Amino acid sequence: MKLSAGTPDAMPPGLRSITYGIFCWANRHPGALRAIGAVLRRWPFVGGWLGTAARADAVKKVLTRPNSFSNTAHAANLSAGDYLIGMDPDATYKTDKLLLDGRLAVLDATLPAAADLAVRDYVEKLRPFGKKSFDLIENYLMWIVFRAMHPLFGEATDRVAAGATGSLDDPGLQRQYLLEIRYVAGQLLAGNSATLRVQRRAELNADALSSRIAGVGKDIQLAWGTSCPFGVIKRNAVGLAWISHPVTVQSGALAVQELLGRPDVHKALRAQAQQLLKMGPNQVWEDKAFRKLVQDHVLELLRFRPIFPLLARDVPRDTEFETGARHNAKCPAGGKMAIWGIAAMFDTAIDKDISQFSPARNWGANEDLRWLMFGYGTRQCPAMVYAVEILTSALIGLLILPELQLARGEGKAIAYDGPLMSQMRVSFI
Ligand code: HEM
């Protein structure tokens, strides 16, 4: 369902701006969400009244009942049309998932080497900035993720980014494409709380993305080596374009933001990288123990700053869910559920010191919960391992450069566009 700016708003004037403002503020302040999450965990019956699951056990149980708690809650926010994440697991979902699995399998062969290669190039591009500030998103993360995910569209990638008639290696056109998909992805996060202008922007870019993909459908069909009907290719290409890149870039920025807020952790990790650098230029890329250490940090940083702190589900039929309180909570048909992943990842039932930042924590039997920022159960992010590989490479690249800090002196270092960071200015110390 599209809501266009031409449609009368159901909300009184001003109220939408206020609720959107609160929503964006909460997304930028995960500490506040964690504090509310702690209350919901402590008194789970409150979550029951509100239709929210917060304890780790409750969240797992809700996310493993896709027929009772449906992903269709996302559908209204998919401005570029239906895609896997908003579908019930029907026949269309199954065919589309097979197509996606085929594309992701290609990344098995290319990652992490392709990400490392991209990072090594961009590290050299950052060095000349010296003490001058640069944008970590525009000058680094955006392009690394673009290159590392090249195999998703294979031979068609550059054509998709340039459009049917554009010059294939024009970075201006590529940047336009990356912004286009960011606005579409932003709508999934902001949902119908977004102001009408923001929703309209998502619609305009969704339309542009649809025509872009329609214009290069043949290239994608060839690259994917599929004989699927064009409509299937188009739905999946449009969906894959907006779901893959922006969320990964944004998670990278969130991870770095969290790391820079923890100077001791940053220093310790840098010290290890610098130590390896002294042993030879490739050591830092080849040392498996170091890569594992950085990956553990990426996961821990994302636990503190998940891009999806909450997930929504539709409730198609009357049901109940186990909140952890003495009585199950009733969920009336036609309602919605809010799943507080950010609360579940800090549940002391997992570990009494779970509130501590500890990349080396042994999650033991709860290892699966360590990845909860990617969802859980059958609808968990199918690309989570690849995304973490790419972010691990990106972080290694930053650790071998001079020490990074948020830029000072020229206004705010971090600029937001709704709940997403649009700019993160940093400089070397
Ligand atoms: C750090 C980056 C990423 C994060 C944090 C992330 C997070 C998530 C989360 C939380 C979900 C579950 C949503 C729900 O259950 O309602 C999800 C689903 C999904 N993600 Fe990711 N994701 C990332 C990167 C990617 C990439 C790179 C791709 C594609 C190449 C991708 C494709 C998908 C798809 C297709 C689904 C829907 C799966 C289904 O419903 O069966 N994601 N992602």
Q: Give yes or no for residue 153 CB within 6 A of ligand 1.
A: no
304-320 residue pLDDT tens:
999 999 999 999 999 99
- As given in the structure block, the two tokens for residue 409 are 């002196």
For residue 411, the model assigns a pLDDT of 82
Query: At 421, phi and psi to the nearest 5?
Result: -80, 130
pLDDT surpassing 80 at residue 201: yes
Q: Give yes or no for residue 250 CB within 6 A of ligand 1.
A: no
Residue with tokens 């209350």: 39
Q: Give yes or no for residue 383 CB within 6 A of ligand 1.
A: yes
Q: Is 314 helix (H, G, I), strand (E, B) or coil?
A: strand
Q: How deeply is 98 buried, as exposed, middle or buried, from its count of CB atoms within 10 A (0-12, 13-18, 19+)?
A: exposed
Report the nearest-CA residue for atom 25 of ligand 1.
Answer: 244
- As given in the structure block, the two tokens for residue 15 are 């109220």
pLDDT (mean) for 99-113: 96
| Cα 75 to ligand 1 centroid, rounded to whole Å | 14
Report the nearest-CA residue for atom 40 of ligand 1.
Answer: 85
Q: How far apart are CA 199 and CA 261, in angstroms?
A: 32
To the nearest 5 percent, what fractions of the chain are helix, strand and coil? 60, 10, 30
Q: Which of 243, 333, 313 is nearest to 71 (CA)?
A: 313
Confidence bin at 8 (pLDDT 50/70/90):
low
Q: How far apart are CA 95 and CA 228, in angstroms?
A: 10
pLDDT (mean) for 48-56: 95
Residue with tokens 């559920």: 337
Amino acid in position 258:
E
Q: Which residues pair with 427 in a beta bridge?
A: 405
Q: How far apart are CA 185 and CA 124, in angstroms?
A: 30
Supply the DSSP string of 42-99, one letter for each residue.
Answer: HSHHHHHHHTEE-SHHHHHHHHT-TTTSBGGGGGGG-TT---GGGS-SSHHHHHHHHH
pLDDT more than 70, % of the chain: 98
For residue 7, the model assigns a pLDDT of 62
Report the nearest-CA residue for atom 22 of ligand 1.
Answer: 381
For residue 281, the model assigns a pLDDT of 87
| Cα 245 to ligand 1 centroid, rounded to whole Å | 10
Report the nearest-CA residue for atom 6 of ligand 1.
Answer: 374
| Cα 11 to ligand 1 centroid, rounded to whole Å | 31
Domain boundaries defined on the chain: 15-428
| Cα 278 to ligand 1 centroid, rounded to whole Å | 38
Containing H/E element for 427? strand 420-428
| Cα 87 to ligand 1 centroid, rounded to whole Å | 13
Supply the DSSP string of 348-406, one letter for each residue.
Answer: TTT-TTTTS--TT---GGGGGGGGGGG--GGGS-TTHHHHHHHHHHHHHHHHTSSPEEE
For residue 12, the model assigns a pLDDT of 80
164-177 residue pLDDT tens:
999 998 999 999 99
Mean pLDDT rounded to a whole number for the chain: 94
Find all residues with CB under 8 Å of 196, minimum gap 6, and list them: 3, 5, 9, 16
Report the nearest-CA residue for atom 29 of ligand 1.
Answer: 244
Q: Give yes or no for residue 100 CB within 6 A of ligand 1.
A: yes
Which CATH topology does 15-428 take?
A: Cytochrome p450 (1.10.630)
pLDDT (mean) for 212-232: 95
Report the nearest-CA residue for atom 11 of ligand 1.
Answer: 381
Q: Give yes or no for residue 84 CB within 6 A of ligand 1.
A: yes
Amino acid in position 138:
E
For residue 1, the model assigns a pLDDT of 42
Q: Is 18 helix (H, G, I), strand (E, B) or coil?
A: helix
344-394 residue pLDDT tens:
999 999 999 999 999 999 999 999 999 999 999 999 999 999 999 999 999
**Hey, which of 95, 247, 370 would you mutate to test ligand 1's pocket, going by the most ligand atoms within 8 Å of its Cβ?**
247
Confidence bin at 3 (pLDDT 50/70/90):
very low
Atom of ligand 1 at shortest range from CA of 380: 12
| Cα 270 to ligand 1 centroid, rounded to whole Å | 30
| Cα 385 to ligand 1 centroid, rounded to whole Å | 11
Q: Is 343 helix (H, G, I), strand (E, B) or coil?
A: helix
Supply the DSSP string of 206-220, one letter for each residue.
Answer: HHHHHHHHHHTHHHH
250-275 residue pLDDT tens:
999 999 999 999 999 999 999 999 99
Q: Give yes or no for residue 70 CB within 6 A of ligand 1.
A: no
Q: Give yes or no for residue 78 CB within 6 A of ligand 1.
A: no
pTM here is 0.95
| Cα 358 to ligand 1 centroid, rounded to whole Å | 24
Total H helices, total E strands in the chain? 18, 9
Does residue 254 contact residue 304 with C-beta atoms inside 8 Å?
Answer: no
pLDDT surpassing 60 at residue 5: no
